[in-house]
Amino acid sequence: MKLNKTLLAFAISAVFLTACTDDEKDASLTDGSQNASSGINDASTNGLGNGSGINGSGFSGGDYASTLGPEFNDPNNPLSKRTVYFMLDSSEVMPDFIPVINAHAQYLVANPTQRITLEGNTDERGAPEYNIALGEQRAKSVASMMKVQGVSDSQLNVVSYGEEKPATIGNEESAWEKNRRTEIVYLPK
């Protein structure tokens, strides 16, 4: 009985919390200028309670790439595809994605001042730190294919987020397969 009351108490509290965070989301969405360091709070919750320092969008998508030229937005052009997917527990690039990687490699060779970050990711299953290692292998597979085409090391930045930045939230294969990926992120010059 006592336990049930506690549960109910928390359920009601959760409603308060939901109401509060919805407001925060609206406020933070108008503020896109926050950088990572201001989102860090040194050992106190001050500044976090009102949602400042939190950027509503957590994903670094290919937004900058879409400003580089019409070919990056043309669905018939491989440059419009900036995600390479992988099989379970594998960092081997599947044949379908070779034309995509080659197209980006050729663009980078032709634009030697352009830099990209290859972000390796995994699905949520298994050990988080092991997944960081697996995600790095996926990003490095793409990097080495690009280097073979003549892309310089200085144009390529590699980071692995493991299972920490899912593209899709879900606990079924249809979500997992969208999360096992390397994202090709163009960096502002």
Q: Which runs of E-coded beta strand occur in 1-143? A: 83-85, 116-121
Between CA 186 and CA 169 the distance in angstroms is 24
Contact status: 61 vs another protein (CB under 8 A): no
Q: Number of helices (H) and strands (E) in the chain: give both, helices first.
A: 4, 4
The CB-of-70 to another protein minimum distance in angstroms stands at 28
Three-class SS state of 77: coil
DSSP state of 184: E
Q: Which two tokens stand for residue 157?
A: 């930045």
The CB-of-151 to another protein minimum distance in angstroms stands at 17
Site for another protein in 83-112 (CB under 8 A): 88-89
Contact status: 152 vs another protein (CB under 8 A): no
Residues that bind another protein (CB under 8 A): 1-3, 5-10, 12-14, 16-18, 20-21, 24-25, 28, 34, 36-37, 39-45, 48-49, 53-56, 58, 60, 88-89, 117, 124-130, 132-134, 136-137, 158-162, 164-165, 169-171
